[in-house]
């Protein structure tokens, strides 16, 4: 018995929701094929598109799969083939796609002993391996789809959030690698009270805007006091891209996850297309290669 899975890319943080908000992209992702095998344990039998370890204990998909099987023991095992399309260090959840895909697929082959929400904690083990930090804001939307909020980490409490029909996400990925661990290293350990007040006002407002389809409110909330001020220097032409996105009608724009990808949220596909072509011009001019993706939310 086998399963073939699309493992979606994701945008974490969404500006104000550092480590708690994320959304799932439906147009970009990896593929994975998982085979049930008579031999117990987990094996990574094939990796295409990336140079990654095949030792399951050193591979994010392997570690996540082993975490699940630690709680649900079986006398058979799983062989995993990974076809990477999301580049490592892109800021759109490459490691999360692998971790989430592995636990999702194995859970299906086991006839779903776990709810999707419960799979998040296993997939987080992959994130821990990849970045040294078990954040869930990429794996949660990869598993649940749409927008998700990690309400709490201890205990883990993941909530799926409704979003308006016309909302589109644009992502531009300059073809440089930025490791999450490096872009976490520039952050400050404490947040001044004034900035914290602004941040939680925006998180609450963004969730309210998503539920009430209030696009203006969504746009007013896409600001980040916590990570963007420190991370933007790591991303080529960040301010210019952001300004062009806003000029072309984006509701808001910011760093996708830990970068270097930049995202913009837009109302309607035609605005999303205008934003995608506007921001492409900036990287064309400075001679940086890039990929752009447009996705419904
Ligand atoms: N919330 C994480 C960070 C996402 O910003 O470091 C990493 O993809």
Residue nearest to atom 3 of ligand 1 (CA): 258
For ligand 1, the distance from its centroid to the CA atom of residue 258, given in whole angstroms, is 5
Catalytic residues: 127, 180
Provide the Cα torsion 147, 151, 157, 162; round to 10°.
Answer: -30
Cβ 259 vs Cβ 91: under 8 Å: yes
Stated pTM of the model: 0.96
- Quote the pLDDT of residue 131: 87
Calpha distance 33→165 (Å, rounded): 31
For ligand 1, the distance from its centroid to the CA atom of residue 177, given in whole angstroms, is 14
Q: Give the 3-state secondary structure of the chain.
A: CEEEEEEEEEEECCCCCCCCEEEEEEEEEEEEEEEEECCCEEEEEEEECCCCCCCHHHCHHHHHHHHHHHHCCCCCEEEEEEECCCCCCCCCCHHHHHHHHHHHHHHHHCCCCCCHHHHHHHHHHHHHHHHCCCCCCCHHHHHHCCEEEEEEECCEEEEEECCCCCEEEEEEEECCCCCHHHHHHCCCCCCCHHHHHHHHHHHHHHHHHHHHCCHHHHHHHCCCCCCHHHHHHHCCCHHHHHHHHHHCCCCEEEECCCCCCEEEEEECHHHHHHHHHHHHHHHHHHCCCEEEEEEEC
Give the end-to-end CA distance of the chain in Å, rounded to a whole number.
32
Residue nearest to atom 4 of ligand 1 (CA): 257
Calpha distance 274→209 (Å, rounded): 23
> Mind listing the pLDDT tens digit of every residue in the chain (297 residues)?
999 999 999 999 999 999 999 999 999 999 999 999 999 999 999 999 999 999 999 999 999 999 999 999 999 999 999 999 999 899 999 999 999 999 999 999 999 999 999 999 999 999 999 988 899 999 999 999 999 999 999 999 999 999 999 999 999 999 999 999 999 999 999 999 999 999 999 999 999 999 999 999 999 999 999 999 999 999 999 999 999 999 999 999 999 999 999 999 999 999 999 999 999 999 999 999 999 999 998
- Quote the pLDDT of residue 12: 98
- Quote the pLDDT of residue 175: 93
Q: Which residues line ligand 1 (CB under 6 A)?
A: 12-13, 18-19, 93, 135, 137-138, 180, 184, 227, 257-258
For ligand 1, the distance from its centroid to the CA atom of residue 35, given in whole angstroms, is 31
Q: Please name the residues in contact with 179: beta carbons below 8 A apart, sequence gap of 6 or more.
A: 89, 131
Residue whose CB lies within 8 A of the most ligand 1 atoms, among 258, 261, 262, 263, for a mutation test: 258
Atom of ligand 1 nearest to the CA of 19: 1
Residue nearest to atom 6 of ligand 1 (CA): 258
Residue whose CB lies within 8 A of the most ligand 1 atoms, among 137, 142, 185, 188, for a mutation test: 137
Calpha distance 54→168 (Å, rounded): 36
Calpha distance 279→282 (Å, rounded): 5
Residue nearest to atom 8 of ligand 1 (CA): 257
- Quote the pLDDT of residue 102: 98
Residue whose CB lies within 8 A of the most ligand 1 atoms, among 9, 14, 16, 18, for a mutation test: 18
Q: Please name the residues in contact with 166: beta carbons below 8 A apart, sequence gap of 6 or more.
A: 215, 267, 268
């Amino acid at each position: 018995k086998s399963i073939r899975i699309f493992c979606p890319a994701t945008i974490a943080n969404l500006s104000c929701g550092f480590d708690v908000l994320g959304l799932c992209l439906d147009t970009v992702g990896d593929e994975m094929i998982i085979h049930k095998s008579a031999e117990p344990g987990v094996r990574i039998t094939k990796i295409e598109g990336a140079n990654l370890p095949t030792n399951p204990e050193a591979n994010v998909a392997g570690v996540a799969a082993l975490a699940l099987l630690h709680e649900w023991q079986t006398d058979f095992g799983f062989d995993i083939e990974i076809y990477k399309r999301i580049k490592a260090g892109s800021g759109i959840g490459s490691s999360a796609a692998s971790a989430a895909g592995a636990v999702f697929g194995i859970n299906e082959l086991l006839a779903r002993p776990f709810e999707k929400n419960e799979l998040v904690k296993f997939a987080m083990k992959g994130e821990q391996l990849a970045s040294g930090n078990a954040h869930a804001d990429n794996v949660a939307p990869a598993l649940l789809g749409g927008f998700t909020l990690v309400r709490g980490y201890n205990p883990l409490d993941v909530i799926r959030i409704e979003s308006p029909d016309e909302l589109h996400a644009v992502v531009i990925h300059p073809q440089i690698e930025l490791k999450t661990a490096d872009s976490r290293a520039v952050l400050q350990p404490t947040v001044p009270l004034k900035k914290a007040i602004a941040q939680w006002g925006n998180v609450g407002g963004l969730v309210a805007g998503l539920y009430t389809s209030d696009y203006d409110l969504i746009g007013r909330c896409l600001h980040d006091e916590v990570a963007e001020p420190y991370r933007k220097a790591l991303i080529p032409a960040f301010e210019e891209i952001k300004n062009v996105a806003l000029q072309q009608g984006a509701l808001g724009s910011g760093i996708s996850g830990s970068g270097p990808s930049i995202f913009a949220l837009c109302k309607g596909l035609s605005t999303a297309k205008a934003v995608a072509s506007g921001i492409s011009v900036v990287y064309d001019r400075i001679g940086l290669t890039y990929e752009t993706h447009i996705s419904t939310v």
